[in-house]
Structure 1
Amino acid sequence: MSLSETPSEAASRRIARPVPLRESVYSAILDMIVSRNLQPGQHLVESELAVMLGVSRQPVREALQWLKNDGWVDLRPGLGAFVHSPTVEEADQLLAVRSLLETESARLAAKNVTEEGVARLREICRQGHVALAAEDVATMVALNAELHATVMRLSGNDVLVELAAQVDRRVRWYYTPVARHRGAQSWQEHSELIDAIATGDADRAGTVMSAHTEHTRRSYLEQRDDADTSPTAALKGRVH
């Protein structure tokens, strides 16, 4: 490297460092938690995760500690690691905050409406209806997140976008078990939201988004109640 190079020129020559293994393991386990492939309360065995991910136990152990610090995993002395089971209060509080953020984002998106933005929302909604017809829950969850993130970006408020990004994974975690149940109603609500944004009706867009997020919140809490009172849940709660 020539000593006469500018810092930016020198930086452009640097070879990108690979992501540390523990970060890759963290991301892989977190993706399995958010997608519900690993269920709340499920025991996480280091050796099994290591074999599944093709790594040694050390990066798995480090990743589980990070996940514990971020509230995704509970470490119980003498028992091991378990996927965190959110309390009703945790879910209710986060989904309530999400509603406030997204209601304001919808209002601002309507005020800053562009043809390109509306076209993007309609395309996501079209894909959502296709996934609904195919009963492809994973794709519905991903498209739901993408649509809401797009509305956030269309708001033009960078602080809202940043705050929403902080809760995005947990929102998807809570939405996944109710995605099939919400199904057609959810995508109909999305269509109504897009129509309000397209016409620049900020009040209507905020009202539709508020009702939409409230329906999801109630569906999640009802699903939790049903799961807690099911015969399977009762058996799991017994001490053997």
Structure 2
Amino acid sequence: MTQKTIQLATAPDLVEQVYARLLDAISEGSLQPGTRLNQEELAAGFSVSRQPVLQALRLLKKDGFVEDAPGRGVQVTQLDVHWIAQVYQVRGSLDALAVRLATERGAKIDPELMQQGRGVHQTRDVQAMIQADLAFHRAIYQASGNPLIAQSIDLHWHHLKRVMGAVLQSSHQRQTVWDEHDAIANAIAAGDADEAVRLVQEHTQQASVQLTARLSEQIQNLKTGAQA
């Protein structure tokens, strides 16, 4: 991340650019939990002064992606099972609102998007699977007609991408995930808002249970390995 120079344009604001680049690297796993972030190295890597890096790190800390490191400095925040479960609670509520609004508007989810998602699921490409999953849910947010839903949930998805990436590297997305997506899309198309809400809440709950359980197992294995 910091070994080669990445030339950034002067606009938009440099703080926003540095923030976005670091956020992508953290959420996609290029910067692993516990990685120390050195201001001088980051500034050199982005070809900017330390000031936009400092401001970007402050924003990342406020949003929960960066934390104080032991001693001094900052590091990428460790994944926390309880925090992720809380993020899923918020996402579940927003997803439920989105599918209800989408259903009431007579929306339909693009069948091609569904087909592409199933195809990606077969590739076992972790980042592609995460992006396909996100594309499905973003289609629902857009179909809701309320732009505040997507804006409100975007930051939460960056947290979820972190845990999805960490977990799916060593295990697989459950086989039924795109069957669940299909059922949700069909309920929306059929105009059954109550069923769509029920299905998306069940879908989110299953994802939360599965991913937090696997994350807990990974964390425990790391602790056991460190003590051995």
Q: Confirm or deny a common fold (TM above 0.5).
A: yes
Report the CA distance between 1:78 and its aligned residue. 3.2
- Counterpart of 1:41 in 2: which secondary structure? coil
Correspondent of 1:187 among 174, 178, 181: 178
Are 1:202 and 2:202 matched, yes or no?
Answer: no
C-alpha separation in 2, matches of 1:237 and 1:82: 22
Q: Deviation string for 1:79-99 (max 9, x for gaps)?
A: 321111243222111211111
- Counterpart of 2:18 in 1: which secondary structure? helix
Distance 1:163 1:126, change over 3 A: same
Residue identity matched to 1:129: R
Q: Deviation string for 1:189-236 (max 9, x for gaps)?
A: 111211111211212211111111011101221122111221x33344
Are 1:172 and 2:161 matched, yes or no?
Answer: yes
CA contact (8 A) 2:37 2:75 kept: yes
Instruction: Please name the residue that 1:233 is paired with.
Output: 223
Report the CA distance between 1:170 and its aligned residue. 2.4
Residue identity matched to 2:160: V
C-alpha separation in 1, matches of 2:55 and 2:147: 33
What does 1:121-160 correspond to in 2, within 5 Å? 122-160=111-149
Distance 1:237 1:68, change over 3 A: farther
Report the CA distance between 1:128 and its aligned residue. 1.4
* Runs (5+) with no aligned partner, structure 1: 1-16
Distance 1:28 1:226, change over 3 A: same
C-alpha separation in 2, matches of 1:177 and 1:219: 13
C-alpha separation in 1, matches of 2:205 and 2:144: 20
Are 1:25 and 2:14 matched, yes or no?
Answer: no
Instruction: Please name the residue that 2:5 is paired with.
Output: none
Residue identity matched to 1:220: L
Residue identity matched to 1:127: Q
C-alpha separation in 2, matches of 1:30 and 1:237: 31
Mean alpha-carbon deviation: is it higher for 185-194 or for 59-68? 59-68
What does 1:30-49 correspond to in 2, within 5 Å? 30-49=23-42
Distance 1:157 1:23, change over 3 A: closer
Mean alpha-carbon deviation: is it higher for 212-221 or for 66-75? 66-75
Identity %: 30
C-alpha separation in 1, matches of 2:155 and 2:52: 25
Are 1:85 and 2:112 matched, yes or no?
Answer: no
C-alpha separation in 2, matches of 1:23 and 1:92: 28
C-alpha separation in 1, matches of 2:102 and 2:160: 20
Give the TM-score of the pair, scaled to structure 2: 0.82
Rg (Cα) greater in structure: 1
Residue identity matched to 1:145: L
C-alpha separation in 1, matches of 2:38 and 2:148: 39
Runs of 4+ deviating beyond 6 Å: none
- Counterpart of 2:34 in 1: which secondary structure? coil
Aligned CA RMSD, in angstroms, stands at 2.6
